Amino acid sequence: MPFIEVAEDGRWIAVTSRIPRARDCSQGVGTMLEGLHSYAIGVLITAVPVLVGALLFIWRDVNLRRRGVVVRAKCVESKRTDKGTVRLRLLYEVEGVQYYCDSLPFLSPPVGVGQRLDVIYDAKIPGYSEVVHQRTSGWVPKIVGTVAGVLLLLTGISYL
């Protein structure tokens, strides 16, 4: 099968039967990763804090799932945000010490001031708490941490 080389102005330069070989795959990946050298400082400045933050969220979530204790907390404050949602401040007690749990925003809060709502807290660190039915699956910090880790890994590999 003939291969036709064409100049930028549209004229034919040569007709050959030789087809150019594709570069070795490892050369392509190496070339692609070399571009990370110029972004290495930016990747480090961004990815390291993001990875640390994601790991802290994951650690807290694992601790709440493993040793969490559910208690009924009393709603002591209800504030409307400027976006029209409502945040609740819930009061719960552990061994005579009072703690507060601030909820995520609600479009319509399930309870009013003076009513009770379930809160889960860490048995070792009672100040770490969340509203039970606002608990998330925990996938977002895992995905964010994975992306940050992969970026750091690729940046490190680009220097090999």
In angstroms, the Cα distances linking 107 to 81, 94, 103, 154 are 10, 29, 12, 41
pLDDT tens digits for range 90-134: 999 999 999 999 988 888 888 889 999 999 998 898 888 888 887
Q: Would you tell me how many other CB atoms lie within 10 Å of the CB of residue 50?
A: 18
Q: Does the pTM exceed 0.75? A: no
pLDDT tens digits for range 3-31: 556 666 666 565 555 555 555 554 555 55
List the domain boundaries for the chain: 30-158
The helix or strand, by DSSP H or E, that contains position 149, with its residue range, turns out to be: helix 139-158
Determine the distance from the C-alpha atom of residue 153 to the mean position of all C-alpha atoms in its chain, rounded to a whole number: 17
pLDDT at 66: 87
pLDDT at 137: 72
